[in-house]
């Protein structure tokens, strides 16, 4: 299976993250502690582009944070 990047929204906090899918299993940045976050939904790139900057994880989307403050 080819590796892929997906975007997810944590159902408890609404925070949006990047995850990498390798052989059917999704992986996230360790700092995000998503193993303990609970349920999430996969979102489209279009929905990501419409998201409020405050909803984006700072670890996963540092370039978006730079645009917001710059």
Q: Show me where the domains of the chain are located.
A: 4-69
pLDDT tens-digit readout, 8-23: 999 988 999 999 999 9
DSSP letter for each residue of 19-44: EEEETTEEE--GGG-GGGT--EEEE-
Q: Residue 34 has what pLDDT?
A: 78
Q: Quick one: DSSP state of residue 56?
A: B
Quick check: 69 pLDDT over 60? no
Q: pTM of the prediction?
A: 0.80
pLDDT tens-digit readout, 23-60: 988 888 888 877 777 889 999 999 999 999 999 999 99
The confidence band for 68, taking pLDDT boundaries of 50, 70 and 90, is: low
């Amino acid at each position: 299976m080819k590796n892929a990047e997906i975007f997810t929204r944590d159902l408890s906090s609404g925070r949006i993250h990047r995850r990498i899918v390798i052989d059917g299993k999704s992986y996230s940045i360790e700092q995000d502690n998503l193993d303990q976050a609970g349920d999430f939904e996969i979102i489209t790139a279009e929905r990501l582009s419409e998201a409020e900057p405050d909803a984006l994880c700072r670890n996963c989307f540092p370039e978006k944070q730079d645009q917001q403050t710059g």
